[in-house]
Structure 1
């Protein structure tokens, strides 16, 4: 699935819609250059999941856990930019949270895939005109079905 997101607000709104197909135990891996919209997307996911508090980039703390409000699903937000090995990712002890929460890992390609049997990869490209292009690829599990259901409410510029 490929989406064209015309602004940071569209990126946030898409994250909120994406949250509707996410469930506890899901792993989402985000890639893209600085300023592509990875944190904006995660903020939308958090809003859609009903987490409490403000979501900010965990660049310096590496990982943040966000509690769910009533009826929501917790969110674990990881920035793997400074992590170089699987051992460093293991040291975060994320395994204790991934079954009960949605885990979003920025800069996680090549490291975070082993946290779950299946995962969703989202590559975000930021164009000069501030438009973002997001390419979603489900790996394993029932991601194809979930992404198909997500596509039914896709923003302008989306294609499967």
Structure 2
């Protein structure tokens, strides 16, 4: 990831448009080989955020939830890396069957692009896919904290770059 995006932080986002805008800013900073792990409850905004990432990366295709297809690959319109958008829980559950090898499970999908030449965004990835990269960006999306305090539909995004080997 290029240095124009903070390596860690916290941000409250009030709307889906804010979520996509934040994703767009991140997407502009991502580079081939980056792994982004999104964690949060159902309806937290993981796919909405990934739509913004895709816009920032300038990739082709409509970004929708990968739940039913396990993974989608979106190729760049501008010569940049592809975006591989994956439902990590389904990937490991359907293909992993306890294999403990998420990298092999992703390879089993027979994607057109090698993982080191793409950006991988893994929804539901916490605790499942960290080992496919030496470092990764972990993003937690919490919609409960603000809703309990104010009744608002905002989300709290917290993120940090982590080392997979440590």
TM, length-normalised to structure 1: 0.81
| Distance in structure 2 (CA, Å) of the matches to 1:9 and 1:110 | 28
Aligned alpha-carbon RMSD (Å): 1.9
Q: 1:21 aligns with which of 4, 18, 29?
A: 29
The equivalent of 1:48 in structure 2 is 56
Cα offset for 1:130?
A: 1.0
Structure 1 spans left out of the alignment, 5+ residues: 142-160
After superposition, give the CA deviation of every residue in 1:105-138 in whole Å (9 maximum; x if it has no partner).
Answer: 0001111101110000000011431101000011
The equivalent of 1:154 in structure 2 is none
Q: 2:142 aligns with which of 112, 125, 128?
A: 125
Q: 1:68 aligns with which of 76, 100, 106?
A: 76
Q: 1:9 aligns with which of 12, 17, 22?
A: 17
Cα offset for 1:42?
A: 0.5
The equivalent of 1:108 in structure 2 is 125
| Distance in structure 2 (CA, Å) of the matches to 1:49 and 1:11 | 15
| Distance in structure 1 (CA, Å) of the matches to 2:101 and 2:133 | 16
Cα offset for 1:81?
A: 2.6
Q: Which has the higher contact order (CA 8 A, sep 6+)?
A: 1
Cα offset for 1:88?
A: 6.2
| Distance in structure 1 (CA, Å) of the matches to 2:45 and 2:115 | 23
| Distance in structure 1 (CA, Å) of the matches to 2:75 and 2:154 | 31
Cα offset for 1:92?
A: 2.7
SS at 2:142 equivalent? strand
Cα offset for 1:48?
A: 0.4
Contact 1:50/1:73 (8 A) holds in 2: no
Aligned length: 141
| Between 34-43 and 76-85, the greater mean CA deviation after superposition | 76-85
| Equivalences for residues 24-43 of structure 1 within 5 A | 24-43=32-51
Structure 2 spans left out of the alignment, 5+ residues: 1-8
| Distance in structure 1 (CA, Å) of the matches to 2:65 and 2:114 | 18
